[in-house]
Every structure is written in structure tokens, then in C-alpha cells.
RNA sequence: GGGCGAGUAGCUCAAUGGUCAGAGCACUACAUUCACAUUGUAGGGGUUACAGGUUCGAGUCCUGUCUCGCCCACCA
């Protein structure tokens, strides 16, 4: 073995080897119980961020662990490259806006851009040593996936779970599309509360408070609290809205908070969700003055055509001039913004497609309860979300690059006409139905909207399994074993997948759910471009390598956030070097050694001690890993490897391997070095796949049939190599060694310094006696007295 | 406002209700041929956020308080 381990050369070498040899290719016919993973298909973006490197490492450790436990692991890989996120990326890269270039050109540009950036993007996942089957990567915009997405849409349509309706919807004026409840985010904003004077028909003046004076033209009523005595005489009266002069009625509703502002509030169609509620409950008229492009329309009179912010300024100025603006107060309040672009959302009425599921909350909660959550408390997040659902799922997007909604509308009777399954995928804009409408009509208006990207990615279990040719096998693999993902998309991807699985199959999509936390910067703050505290995985890989990065990532438990610390990546690198050097020592004494079972009859007590510790460590490691506690498993292994094996056992065994006097005794030591080192490597393999592969190939491969350490199985827990009583006795020797080291350290002596006589204090005089000779030789002491 | 989680050494975190609460990092001292200075040995460092309670025994269980983080709701 070389003196130094060069990760830059070796990591690349083994990644290429795994790929070339198809080490992680899935073979449905292979022996072993299947362990299937619903890998999160990363959303296509320029490059991987550290949060990805972190959470994908966790799932990869799990995949590698189960593979080495003898399971047949199905670990697919896909890329989510359709819909709004991809469109936003393409707009950014090419510095264009979708509506400016037109549908055809934009879709072409999307395809071209994806083709250019996809290989580099996928390479990032290979570089962190994901053990996915990369021989067959799915893409959510591929014709096959589009076909599936449309097919399942049609199924929902036929089951009356999907409907189109003219209704108030959440709207992003920036992206110019309807969005869903899940796409909202909170944002704290500095704003102003304006007190504006209204006047009733009989000239009574009163104040309403609003943060959105630009919606005055949309005002359809004024609300006060039923018990608010200040306004009891006003209710039922007609008021005139300032500037726009529409007459509206004053109504009572308990939702009004008398303490807020003046206690009187205007209701607009639509300012917020309360307005929608009032619109339906009080059967109010609609006055929609906000257009889809975020500008006011003619209802806003001279402010028509202005963007909302400009309109607000103009309206405020006019109110001031007319003496109707009584007060401005600075406030900080939270507004809903679109998660993809941070633009404040509007509510407007238009025709959209929805998945009807609000009636299924109870069923969804029951499904959530059937899942095994790691950590368990994450379930509450989902349950909370399900309980708080208020809108059916709006699934249509007024965008271009996505899965088209496979529907035509009959011009004659307005009915929706759907394609045949065998004709999928279709783009209604470029094809016609193959048969006439039921009404005999033959003229159609194609549906131009595309599906919400989550409509497709919520089918990830089906998409992943569709890559397995054997249909029977596919069905048997549902539910899948595990969904690993980060906690930020529990409300999106996890929920939607659970919902789809229930709607289509009445099944849970997977048995286990493992949730990863976030990566924070060294100060515990979120990483963001604006703060300039982003750490790129590429930089870490370049400097310390993938194994070191994985070593860092594996110290956090499921659900826990982790602060990035370069110092801790360095510890990962140190561990790798330690493994390398310990292996060099062991292998130097294992030349031409072939393990024989008979060697165990000559085991010395120190051998039995370390083998027992190994047994216990392996047991603990497996126990932890089965519960997805990779951090705990690693901790147990680190302690064993560093302290028990390197610091103590290797130091003790040196006497024997260097002097090499007794053949049997020597072979026993070799047996232990072989067994322990090999076990340590295997147990480290899921966490640090490259260094362990390198040492396996260097030595163990010649004695094994598997072409990669990652295809070998973990050491079996063998009771024959477990000697609890002797190990307990030998702990006294370890204690004595510690005492002697302490003495030498206190007297500024080197560990090897010769000492004439040392007195060791112990309660187990008789037990320790047996080991005095060993202690003397190991610690360079002439005589030891025990007390 | 509702829900969830966390609070243990300077920092990052361990610890089935059961020995004197442990590691790593950082700090200090010492040690250099023999796997490894990308090292080893040792040392200092604690009112386990606070206040009660249950128990033979509490970092761990219960109640309350405080602080921080996250999710959801509110958004006039």
C-alpha cells in the first residue's frame, strides 16, 4: 500500500468503476428481499447545493446499509425538469420572459437548455457517490412520464375527482399563473395602515382601516362586528366608496376584529381569504379590478392600467387632496408570497382545474398514521397541514413547459372530451380528438394549460417502478420501502404523493418515511445568496473529498438541522487517513494470510477482548441503522475503531506480530487483524464508500468473490467470537494501561520510556495477576506491583 | 393565536429511570525512528435553562415558567 491516500484520484477511479461494472444496477430477479427507495428527483437547477449533498448522503447511507444486509435494493434516480421551477430556471439562464418569446420558442428553448445543463447537474449526484442505478434515469418531462401523468389525470377525471370551475383562485402576477395553497410562503413586510373616511347616504362619516387602498375600486361592502356599539347605528346603511363612488352596504360579521384599526373594514373582491369567505356567505357581488398581469382595469377609472404599487401611490395622493386620508401608520405585517418568486399573490376569479380532496381529510390522516415516521414527530407536520387544508388542489398552470392537460372542450356543448389512453401523451394544442363529441359536435377548443409540476412528481413511486420491465414485480413493490426527503417539502411532495396514492390505489405509497433536516451556516443561520453565506458542495469535494463530506453529513440524526463547519469536514478527512494507516499496519502483517476457522482455538485474551467489543459494536450499529439512526451507528463505530482497535488493541498486538515467535499465536493475531479490519471497513463502507473500496480492492478482493465491497454482506453476529467474561476481565488490563500512561504523562515520560517499577491499584488483584507480563512488556516496565 | 421540536463543558453533540453525566473540537502540558504529527498520552473545564412534583433513585417521567428554532393560521 502507498504511504498516502490520494482521494482525488481514488474517488474518481471508484466512481467510474461502479458505473462501468454496473455495481448498483437493479436486477429484479436477484436474491434477497427488496428494499425500494422512492428517491427524490431533484428539481433541475444549475448545481447541487449543500442541503442536497447533506440529505442525499443520508439516504445513500441507508441504501448502502440495506444492500450490505443482503437486501435487493431498488434505488432509482430521476430529475424533476418540468413545470414552473424549470421554466424559471430557463428564463434566468437565457435572460428572457416566457410571455415575451411565445409558446413554441419557449418550449424549444427549455428543451435545449435542459439538454445542455442536465449532464453536469446529474454529475453532482454521482460525485457524492450516490449508489443509485444511474443506468436508467427518469425525467418528469419525458414522453413516457407525460403519458403516465396524463393517464392518471384521466383516471381522476373519470372518477369525478378532477373538475374545472370558475372560482376565486390564488394568482401570481409575476408568473401569471394560478397556484396552489402549498405554493404560498409567508413574508414579513413593512407596510402602512391607512385610515380612510367613508360617508353614508345620510352624511354620517366614519373611518375604515386598510393596508390596500389600491383595492378601493373592488370594494363591495363594509363590515363591522355585530357587538361593536360604535357602529350599531350604521349597519344596513349604504355608503359611498371614496374616489370610485360605488354604493355598498354595511354588514355585520363576527370575523371582524373590533380592536384592529377603526373596527370597520372594507370587503373587496378579493383582497384576502376572508373576503372570499364573506363573498360566499353574504352573497356579495364581484368587482374584480385586478387583472392577471397585476395591473388595475377600467373599474379603477383613471388608475386603470397602472401596476398595483403605482396605483396605491396615486390613490393615496388623491385621498389626501380630498381630505379623506385621516391617518397613516407604519406597520410590519405578514403577506403571502409565491414560493418560487417571492411576489405577493393576488386572488382573482378565473376558470381553473382542481383535484377535489377536501372531503378526504380524515382518510389522509389515517394514511399518514399508517406510515412509520423517522423521526416520529415529523408526522405532526403533515397532519397539521392536512387539517389546515382549505382549498381543493388547483392543478392548472397558465404556463407552457409542462405536462399538457389532456382535454379538448366541445364548441357546441362545452363538454370536456378526453383522448384515448393509447394515444397518450397528447398536446391538445397540436392534435384533435379522434372521435366526435357525444353531442355529435366536431369542433373543439384545446385546453392550453399545463399541469402543476407536483401533479407529476406526486406519482414518483409509479414512475420509478415503471422502469422495471416485469409488471408483476412492479405491483408487488407497492408500497415501496422508504421515502427519504427533507422536511421543507412535507406539505408538498410528501402530502401530494400520499394523496395520489390514496386516490388511485387506496394504499400508502411507502412503509417508512425518513426526514432530513437543513444545513445552516456556522452561526446557525439559513444559507442564502443575499446573506452571502453559501457553501458549495463542489468546493468541499475539491478540498476534502466526498468521503470526508459524507462523514460530516452523517453525524446528524434524521430531522435534525446541522451547522456547516469546515473543522468537522477535516475530522472526516482525518478519519479517512486513520483508516488508511491502520489498514497499512494490519495488511503489512497479513501477507499470504488466509483466514482459517481453526485459528480461533489459539486466541489470546486480548484477541477475545477486541472480538467481543467488535461483536457489541456491530450489534449496536445494526440496531441503530435499522431505525435510520446513522449518526448513532457511526458514533458507536468511531469509538470502537479509534479507541478500542487503534489505541489499544493494535498497540498490544504489536508485541506479537513484530516478534512473531509462536506460529499459532501469530496466526491467531492475524485472524483477529483480518476479521476486525474487514468488519470495520464493511461497517464504514456505507458512510465512506471510496476509502473502504480502495482497501477492499487492495487486499480482501483476492479472497472474496464480490467485485466490490459494497456487494459484500456485513459480518454476521457470531456468538463463537464473543467472550463476555474474558472481555470483562481484560477491561482491567485496559484500565491498568490507562493508569500507567497517566503516570508516564504526569512524569513527562514518553509512552515507550523504560520504567523500573510501577504500582497499580486495583480491586481485582487476582484477576490482573495473569496479565502482568503482558503489561510489563507492552508498557516497557521492569516490574509491576499490584495493590 | 395553534402545533412541533430544542435548551447538557467555551463550541458541536452523546447518555434503556440506575456507578463519579460522557465524546469530539477548542484550550494547556508532555512525548518524536518501529501504521499514523493529518499523531499519541494526559490535564483543566458541568447548579444538565429555571421552579415545583412523582420515585429508593430524575439530564431522562409529570406540571408550570423562560429562551431559541421550525411549521401552520392571522394578513382588513
Q: What is the pLDDT of residue A526?
A: 85
A226 touches strand B (CB under 7 A): no
The residue whose CA lies nearest the C1' of nucleotide B12 is A563
Is there a contact between A358 and A181 (Cβ–Cβ < 8 Å)?
A: no
Segment A213-239 shows an average pLDDT of 94
User: Smallest CA–C1' separation from A272: which nucleotide?
Assistant: B75
Q: Separation of CA A605 and C1' B69 in angstroms? A: 50
Strand, helix or coil at A740?
helix
Nearest nt by C1' to A208 Cα: B76
Q: Does the nearest atom of strand B lie within 7 Å of A738's Cβ?
A: yes
Which among A379, A370, A635 has a CA at the least distance from the CA of A509? A370
**Chain A 37-56 residues in 7 Å CB range of strand B:** none
Q: Is the CB of residue A711 inside 7 Å of nucleic acid strand B?
A: no
pLDDT tens by residue, A298-323: 999 999 999 999 999 999 999 999 99
Q: Which of residues 623-642 of A touch strand B (CB under 7 A)?
A: 631-632, 635, 639, 642
Q: Determine whether the distance from the CB of A577 to the nearest atom of strand B is below 7 Å.
A: yes
- Say whether A124 sits in a helix, a strand or coil: helix
The values of phi and psi at residue A40, to 5°, are -65, 120
Å: A246 CA to B15 C1': 70
Query: Distance (Å) from CA A248 to C1' B66?
Result: 49
Q: Please report, for chain A, how many H helices and E strands are present, in that order.
A: 25, 27
pLDDT value for A673: 96
Distance A105 CA to B50 C1' (A): 65
Question: Residue A157: which of A479, A396, A442 has the closest Cα?
Answer: A396
CA of A639 to C1' of B23 (A): 9
3-class secondary structure, A482: strand
Q: Is the dihedral of CA A243, A244, A248, A250 positive or negative?
A: negative
**Does the CA dihedral A371-A375-A379-A381 come out positive or negative?**
negative
Q: CA A440 to CA A293: how far, in whole Å?
A: 38
DSSP codes of every residue in A522-543: TTSPBP-TTTT----HHHHHHH
The reported pLDDT for the residue numbered A105 is 96
Q: List, for residues A517-564, the tens digit of each pLDDT value.
A: 999 988 888 888 778 888 999 999 999 999 999 999 999 999 999 999
Q: What is the pLDDT of residue A752?
A: 84
Q: How far is the CA of A628 from the C1' of B56 (A)?
A: 37
Tell me how crowded residue A725 is: count the other CB atoms within 10 A of its CB.
9
Residue nearest to nucleotide B30 (CA to C1'): A748
The reported pLDDT for the residue numbered A533 is 86
Q: How many angstroms separate the CA of A728 from the C1' of B53?
A: 40
> Which residues of chain A (247-266) touch nucleic strand B at CB < 7 A?
255-257, 259-261, 265-266
Q: Is A212 near strand B, with its CB below 7 A from some atom of it?
A: yes
Per-residue pLDDT tens over the stretch A88-121: 999 999 999 998 999 999 999 999 999 999 999 9
Is pLDDT of A763 > 80? Answer: no
Question: In the structure, how far is the CA atom of residue A774 from the C1' atom of nucleotide B31, in angstroms?
Answer: 22
Q: What is the 3-state secondary structure (H, E, C) of A580-601?
A: HHHHHHHHHCCCCCCCCHHHHH
- DSSP per residue over A209-272, as a string? EES-GGGGGGEEEEEE-TT-GGGTTTTT-EEE-TTT--EEEEEE-TTS-TTSTTSEEEEETTSS
pLDDT at A522: 84
* Chain A 587-616, CB < 7 Å to strand B: 588
Distance from residue A654's CA to nucleotide B18's C1', rounded to whole Å: 39
In what helix (H) or strand (E) does residue A74 lie, and over which residues does it extend?
strand A72-74
Provide the pLDDT for residue A626. 95
A 419-448 residues, CB < 7 A, strand B = none
Nucleotide showing the shortest C1' distance to residue A526 CA? B69
Q: How far apart are CA A518 and CA A588, in angstroms?
A: 43
**Neighbour-count burial for A121-158, b at 16+ CB within 10 Å, e otherwise:** bbebbbbbbbbbbbeebbbbbbeebbbbbbbbbbebbe
pLDDT for position A608: 96
Instruction: Report residue A232 CA to chain centroid gap.
Output: 53
Q: Where is A568: in which H helix or E strand?
A: helix A566-588
Higher pLDDT residue, A529 or A380? A380
Q: Distance in angstroms, CA of A556 to C1' of B40?
A: 28
Nearest to A740 by CA among A699, A708, A778, A702: A778
CA A523 to C1' B10, in angstroms, rounded, equals 15
pLDDT value at residue A529: 79
3-state secondary structure of A604: coil
Nucleotides of B strand lying within 7 Å of any protein CB atom: 2-5, 12-15, 23-26, 29-36, 38-43, 69-76
> What percent of chain A has a predicted confidence (pLDDT) above 90?
85
Task: Note the pLDDT of residue A332.
Answer: 87
Distance in Å, residue A638 CA to nucleotide B17 C1': 27
Look at residue A244 in the predicted model and tell me its pLDDT: 95
Query: Considering only residues 184-203 of protein chain A, which place a Cβ less than 7 A from any atom of strand B?
Result: 184-186, 191, 193
- As a whole number, mean pLDDT of residues A15-35 equals 95
Q: What integer best gives the mean pLDDT of chain A?
A: 94
List the A164 CA – B50 C1' distance (angstroms).
57
- B2 C1' – A488 CA distance, angstroms? 20
Closest to A398 in 3D by CA, of A99, A681, A196: A99
Query: Per residue in A640-658, pLDDT tens?
Result: 999 999 999 999 999 888 8
Which residue minimizes Cα–C1' distance to B43?
A746
Residue A402 contacts strand B, CB under 7 A: no
A456 CA, B31 C1': Å apart? 64
pLDDT of residue A425: 97
Q: How many angstroms separate the CA atoms of A306 and A294, rounded?
A: 9
Task: Give the nucleotide with minimal C1' distance to the Cα of A556.
Answer: B13
Which nt is closest to the CA of A193, judged by C1'?
B76
What pLDDT, on the 0 to 100 scale, is given for residue A746?
86
pLDDT > 90? residue A261: no
Which pLDDT belongs to residue A412?
Answer: 93
Report the pLDDT value the prediction gives residue A527, as an integer from 0 to 100: 87
**Which residues make beta-bridge pairs with A409?**
A416, A445
* Tens-place pLDDT, residues A583-616: 999 999 999 899 998 999 999 999 999 999 999 9
List, for residues A690-719, the tens digit of each pLDDT value: 999 999 999 999 999 999 999 999 999 999
From the Cβ of A659, is strand B under 7 Å away? no
What is the distance in angstroms measured between the alpha-carbon CA of A150 and the sugar C1' of B2?
38
pLDDT of residue A83: 94
B26 C1' to A566 CA distance, Å = 14
What is the average pLDDT across A747-774? 85
Arithmetic mean of pLDDT, A18-35: 95
Mean pLDDT across A419-444: 95
Residues 459-498 of A with CB under 7 A from strand B: 487-488, 491
Q: How far is the CA of A255 from the C1' of B50 (A)?
A: 39
CA at A377, C1' at B13: how many angstroms apart? Answer: 20
The fraction of chain A above a pLDDT of 70, given in percent, is 100
- Residues 743-762 in A having a C-beta less than 7 A from any atom of strand B are 744-746, 748-752
CA atoms within 13 A on the CB side of A301: 13
Q: Within 7 Å: CB of A395 and strand B? A: no
pLDDT at A660 over 80: no
Length of chain A: 787
Separation in Å: B4 C1' and A378 CA: 8
Instruction: DSSP for A276-333, please give it.
Output: HHHHHHTTPPP---B-TTSBB-GGGGGGTT-BHHHHHHHHHHHHHHTT-EEEEEEEEE
Q: Residue at minimal CA–C1' distance from B38?
A: A574
Instruction: Calculate mean pLDDT across residues A142-161.
Output: 98
Query: Could you tell me the distance in Å between the CA of residue A630 and the C1' of nucleotide B67?
Result: 30
In this complex, the residue with its CA at the shortest distance from the C1' of nucleotide B74 is: A334
Does the structure show a pLDDT above 80 at A661? no
What pLDDT is stored for residue A662 in this prediction? 85
Nucleotide nearest to A182 (CA to C1'): B72
Tens digits of per-residue pLDDT, A312-365?
999 999 999 999 999 999 988 889 999 999 999 999 999 999 999 999 999 999
Give the model's pLDDT for residue A532.
82
Q: How far is the CA of A557 from the C1' of B15 (A)?
A: 15
The A 309-338 residues near strand B by Cβ under 7 Å are: 331, 333-336
Return the pLDDT at A762: 78
Query: How much is the ipTM here?
Result: 0.95
Q: Under 8 Å CB-to-CB from A698, ≥6 apart: which residues? A: A1, A583, A587
Amino acid at each position: 500500500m502507498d504511504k498516502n491516500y490520494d482521494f482525488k484520484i481514488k474517488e474518481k477511479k471508484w466512481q467510474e468503476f461502479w458505473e462501468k461494472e454496473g455495481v448498483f444496477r437493479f436486477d429484479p430477479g436477484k436474491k434477497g428481499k427488496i428494499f425500494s427507495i422512492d428517491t427524490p428527483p431533484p428539481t433541475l437547477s444549475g448545481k447541487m447545493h449543500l442541503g442536497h449533498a447533506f440529505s442525499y448522503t443520508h439516504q445513500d447511507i441507508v441504501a448502502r446499509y440495506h444492500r450490505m444486509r443482503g437486501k435487493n435494493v431498488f434505488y432509482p434516480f430521476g430529475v424533476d425538469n418540468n413545470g414552473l421551477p424549470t421554466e424559471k430556471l430557463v428564463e434566468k439562464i437565457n435572460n428572457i420572459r416566457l410571455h415575451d418569446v411565445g409558446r413554441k420558442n419557449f418550449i424549444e428553448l427549455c428543451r435545449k437548455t435542459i439538454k445542455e445543463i442536465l449532464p453536469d447537474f446529474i454529475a453532482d449526484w454521482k460525485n457524492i457517490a450516490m449508489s443509485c442505478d444511474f443506468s436508467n434515469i427518469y425525467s418528469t418531462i419525458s414522453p413516457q412520464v407525460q403519458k403516465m401523468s396524463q393517464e392518471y389525470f384521466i383516471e381522476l377525471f373519470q372518477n369525478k375527482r378532477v373538475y374545472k370551475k370558475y372560482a376565486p383562485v390564488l394568482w401570481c402576477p409575476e408568473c401569471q399563473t394560478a397556484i396552489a395553497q402549498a405554493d404560498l410562503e409567508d413574508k414579513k413586510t413593512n407596510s402602512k395602515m391607512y385610515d380612510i373616511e367613508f360617508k353614508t347616504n345620510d352624511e354620517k362619516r366614519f373611518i375604515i382601516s386598510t393596508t390596500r387602498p389600491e383595492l378601493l375600486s373592488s370594494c363591495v361592502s363594509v363590515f363591522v362586528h355585530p357587538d361593536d356599539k360604535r357602529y350599531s347605528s350604521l349597519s344596513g346603511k349604504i355608503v359611498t366608496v371614496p374616489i370610485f363612488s360605488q354604493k355598498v352596504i354595511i354588514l355585520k360579521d363576527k370575523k371582524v376584529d373590533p380592536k384592529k384599526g377603526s373596527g370597520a373594514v372594507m370587503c373587496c373582491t378579493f383582497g384576502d381569504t376572508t373576503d372570499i369567505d364573506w363573498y360566499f356567505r353574504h352573497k356579495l357581488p364581484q368587482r374584480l379590478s385586478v387583472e392577471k398581469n397585476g395591473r388595475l382595469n377600467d373599474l379603477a377609472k383613471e388608475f386603470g392600467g397602472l401596476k398595483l404599487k403605482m396605483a396605491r401611490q396615486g390613490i393615496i395622493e388623491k385621498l389626501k387632496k380630498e381630505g379623506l386620508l385621516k391617518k397613516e401608520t407604519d406597520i410590519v405585517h405578514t403577506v403571502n408570497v409565491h414560493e418560487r418568486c417571492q411576489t405577493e399573490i393576488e386572488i382573482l376569479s378565473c376558470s381553473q382545474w382542481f383535484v377535489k380532496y377536501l372531503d378526504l381529510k380524515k382518510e389522509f390522516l389515517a394514511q399518514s398514521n399508517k406510515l412509520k415516521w423517522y423521526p416520529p414527530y415529523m408526522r405532526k407536520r403533515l397532519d397539521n397541514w392536512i387539517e389546515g387544508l382549505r382549498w381543493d388542489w388547483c392543478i392548472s398552470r397558465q404556463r407552457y413547459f409542462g405536462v399538457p392537460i389532456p382535454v379538448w372542450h366541445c364548441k357546441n356543448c362545452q363538454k370536456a372530451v378526453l383522448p384515448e389512453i393509447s394515444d397518450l401523451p397528447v398536446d391538445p394544442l397540436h392534435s384533435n380528438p379522434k372521435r366526435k363529441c357525444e353531442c355529435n359536435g366536431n369542433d373543439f377548443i384545446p385546453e392550453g394549460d399545463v399541469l402543476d409540476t407536483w401533479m407529476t412528481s406526486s406519482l414518483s413511486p409509479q414512475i420509478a417502478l415503471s422502469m422495471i420491465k416485469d409488471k408483476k414485480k412492479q405491483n408487488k413493490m407497492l408500497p415501496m420501502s422508504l421515502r427519504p426527503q427533507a422536511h421543507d417539502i412535507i406539505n408538498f411532495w410528501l402530502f401530494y404523493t400520499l394523496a395520489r396514492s390514496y386516490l388511485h390505489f387506496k394504499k400508502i405509497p411507502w412503509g417508512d418515511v425518513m426526514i432530513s433536516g437543513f444545513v445552516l451556516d456556522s452561526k446557525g443561520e439559513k444559507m442564502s445568496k443575499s446573506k452571502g453565506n453559501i457553501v458549495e458542495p463542489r468546493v468541499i469535494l475539491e478540498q476534502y473529498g466526498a468521503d470526508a463530506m459524507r462523514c460530516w453529513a452523517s453525524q446528524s440524526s434524521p430531522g435534525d438541522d446541522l451547522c456547516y463547519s469546515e473543522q468537522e469536514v477535516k475530522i472526516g478527512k482525518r478519519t479517512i487517513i486513520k483508516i488508511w494507516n491502520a489498514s497499512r499496519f494490519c495488511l503489512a502483517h497479513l501477507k499470504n494470510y488466509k483466514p482459517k476457522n481453526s485459528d480461533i482455538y489459539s486466541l489470546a485474551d486480548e484477541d477475545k477482548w477486541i472480538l467481543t467489543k467488535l461483536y457489541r459494536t456491530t450489534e449496536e450499529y445494526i440496531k441503530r441503522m435499522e431505525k435510520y439512526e446513522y449518526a448513532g451507528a457511526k458514533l458507536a463505530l468511531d469509538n470502537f475503531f479509534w479507541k478500542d482497535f487503534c489505541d489499544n488493541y493494535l498497540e498490544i498486538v504489536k508485541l506479537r506480530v513484530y516478534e512473531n515467535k509462536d506460529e499459532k499465536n501469530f496466526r491467531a493475531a492475524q485472524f483477529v487483524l483480518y476479521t476486525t479490519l474487514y468488519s470495520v471497513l464493511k461497517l464504514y463502507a456505507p458512510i465512506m464508500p471510496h476509502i473502504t473500496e480502495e482497501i477492499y480492492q487492495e487486499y480482501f478482493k483476492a479472497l472474496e468473490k464480490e467485485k466490490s465491497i459494497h456487494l459484500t454482506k456485513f459480518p454476521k453476529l457470531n456468538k463463537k467470537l464473543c467472550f463476555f467474561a474474558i472481555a470483562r476481565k481484560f477491561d482491567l488490563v485496559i484500565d491498568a494501561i490507562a493508569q500507567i500512561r497517566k503516570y508516564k504523562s504526569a512524569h513527562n515520560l514518553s509512552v515507550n520510556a523504560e520504567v523500573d517499577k510501577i504500582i497499580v491499584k486495583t480491586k481485582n488483584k487476582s484477576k490482573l495477576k495473569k496479565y502482568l507480563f503482558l503489561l510489563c512488556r507492552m508498557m516497557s516496565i521492569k516490574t509491576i506491583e499490584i495493590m
